[in-house]
Amino acid sequence: MSTPKKGNIFIISAASGTGKTTLVSRLLKHHGDIRVSISHTTRQAREGEVHGKHYYFIDIPKFENLIRENAFLEHAKVFDNYYGTSIEGVNLLREQGYDVILEIDIQGAEQVRRILPDACSIFILPPSFQILAERLIGRATDSEEVINKRLNKARHEIEQAFFFDYVVVNEDLDVAENDLLHIIKAHRLKQNSQQLFIENLLENS
């Protein structure tokens, strides 16, 4: 008999340039039972980004409407743009049994931790500030002004690592991906993640 299972929530945050998006894409590629929540944003799509795949790109009035309708689990303004996680989108995935990754900033992470204390929060750190700066410059998708803004913000963001359940240092992608996977597996085995299974087992004893 199959046991009903509601997926877990994993919050993944990092200072920008830490390789968080690459890490999450790798996890998704290798593990079909994990999905990422597709956020809504008011920022312009970058080259190669697809509506409905990377983000739902919407305008400010639409975003503000969704805030009024309480459609977001969390939302925040990051670098002059709005970003938000749809409650409906997350619930749908969880009900289908998928574990859901919220790849969100530190403000959003704080909101979700408050609303869903069972969510597992993971912070990704760069090996050093020097490497973080090199990665941001190498990425070259943003203007110099934006890069400087992001670097200045990085220190403040990294200070928030103290409030997360787990911290992963992304020096080597393979190692960091493996670390993430171990965290996900351990969280799945926590007693409160398995309550439905225990109840079902007892009911059928």
Residues comprising the binding site?
14-21
Exactly one of 103, 110, 177, 179 binds ligand 5GP (CB under 6 A); that residue is: 103
CA 22 from centroid of its chain's CA atoms: 12
Q: With binding defined as CB under 6 A, does residue 85 bind ligand 5GP?
A: yes
CB atoms inside a 10 Å sphere around CB 148: 13
Annotated binding site for ATP: 14-21
Site stretch for ligand 5GP (CB under 6 A), options 2-10, 90-98, 104-112, 190-198: 104-112
Which one-letter DSSP state was computed for residue 31? Answer: -
Q: In the complex with ligand 5GP, which residue's Cβ is closer, 7 or 108?
A: 108
110 binds ligand 5GP (CB under 6 A): no
Strands lying side by side in the sheet with 120-125: 34-36, 99-103, 9-14, 120-125, 166-169
What is the phi/psi pair of residue 19, to 5°? 95, 15
- Compute the C-alpha angle 158/159/164, nearest 5°: 80
Binding mask 122-161 for ligand 5GP (x = CB under 6 A): ----------------------------------------
Contact region with ligand 5GP (CB under 6 A), list: 101-109, 117-125, 163-171, 176-184: 101-109
The torsion angles phi and psi of 2, rounded to 5 degrees, stand at -80, 145
Site residues (vs ligand 5GP, CB under 6 A)? 16, 39, 43, 74, 76, 78, 83-85, 103-105, 107-108
